[in-house]
């Protein structure tokens, strides 16, 4: 059922390119031959077919009414107010219409992790400088990270994420919500505890679980009459860190 749809989902998004294969390896990277590269157009199209139908996705810049437009956001999921909303806003999407921010990383390692998390934290602060603290918590936009390649083990990545937030003393609402590494696993923010994350080694089921969890964030108003978790029939216990 749902598992079948996502079995080869990443094959329509990842490509083996010469550029990816010959990209210089940084310290700690594994020499594993040609590495995968995310095709942004194909990723946008693939996600566009599975997000809630009242939403759409584009490579547009988010912006708030104060003019703050964070860099490093690759895709924006938003409610289409009108067909020409992007043209109307000169390439931007007002934060009031945004339901999710996507940040894509081709190769994630210890050197690039800090900039990646910092970019996400900055993007999540959109609209927070012009509304009250009470409204800030309600108006937080979910952030999703998608990674093609990494030399990290999941438990190491989870620990480095937590250590980064501790070292920066960053407010927990600006942390990443879901990080997905193709064919390896997902790291999910645990909202029940502050400064807490769960890493799951989901391997070939990674795309499926990323979709299910992402969809729960995008369905902010609980409008969907379906719980996709109930339609997963695989009885698998994933390694959890």
Taking the mean position of all CA atoms in its chain, how far away is CA 152? 17
Answer whether residue 222 shows pLDDT above 80. Answer: no
pLDDT of the residue at 63: 97
Answer whether residue 30 shows pLDDT above 50. Answer: no
Q: Is residue 150 situated within a structural domain?
A: yes
Q: What is the mean pLDDT of the chain?
A: 88
Name the more confident of 124 and 28: 124
Answer whether residue 221 shows pLDDT above 60. Answer: yes
**Mean pLDDT score, 10-14:** 87
**Mean pLDDT score, 16-26:** 48
Q: What are the tens digits of pLDDT across the range 110-128? A: 999 999 999 999 999 998 8
Q: How confident is the model at residue 235 (pLDDT cuts 50, 70, 90)?
A: confident
pLDDT of the residue at 44: 97
Q: Is residue 28 situated within a structural domain?
A: no
Percent of the chain at pLDDT > 90 equals 69
Q: Is residue 109 situated within a structural domain?
A: yes
- Residue 119 to residues 36, 73, 158, 208, 218, Cα–Cα distance (Å): 23, 8, 17, 26, 21
SS3 72: coil
Answer whether residue 29 shows pLDDT above 50. Answer: no
Q: How many structural domains comprise the chain?
A: 1
The DSSP line for 140-151 is PPPEEEEEEEES
Taking the mean position of all CA atoms in its chain, how far away is CA 83? 25
Q: Is residue 123 situated within a structural domain?
A: yes
Q: Is residue 223 situated within a structural domain?
A: yes
Q: Which domain holds residue 213?
A: 2-23+33-240
Cα gap 23→26, rounded to integer Å: 9
**Mean pLDDT score, 165-190:** 95
Least confident of 66-70, 167-171, 189-193, 218-222: 218-222
């Amino acid at each position: 059922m749902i598992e079948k749809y996502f079995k080869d989902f990443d094959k329509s998004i990842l490509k083996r390119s010469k550029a990816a294969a010959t990209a210089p390896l940084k310290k700690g990277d594994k020499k594993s031959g040609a590495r995968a590269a995310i095709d942004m157009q194909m990723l946008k199209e693939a996600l566009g077919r599975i997000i809630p139908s009242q939403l759409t996705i584009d490579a547009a810049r988010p912006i708030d009414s104060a003019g703050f437009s964070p860099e490093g956001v690759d895709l924006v999921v938003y409610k289409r107010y009108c067909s020409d909303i992007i043209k109307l806003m000169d390439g931007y999407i007002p934060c009031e219409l945004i339901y999710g921010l996507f940040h894509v990383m081709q190769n994630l390692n210890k050197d690039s992790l800090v900039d990646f998390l910092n970019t996400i934290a900055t993007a999540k602060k959109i609209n927070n400088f012009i509304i009250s603290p009470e409204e800030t918590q309600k108006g937080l936009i979910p952030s999703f990270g998608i990674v093609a390649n990494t030399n990290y083990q999941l438990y190491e990545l989870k620990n480095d994420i937590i250590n980064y937030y501790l070292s920066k003393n960053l407010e927990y609402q600006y942390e990443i919500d879901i990080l997905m590494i193709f064919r390896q696993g997902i790291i999910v923010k645990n909202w029940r505890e502050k400064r807490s994350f769960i890493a799951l080694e989901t391997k070939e089921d990674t795309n499926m679980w990323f979709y299910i969890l992402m969809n729960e964030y995008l369905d902010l108003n609980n409008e969907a009459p379906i719980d996709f978790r109930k339609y997963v029939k695989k009885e698998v216990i994933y390694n959890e860190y």
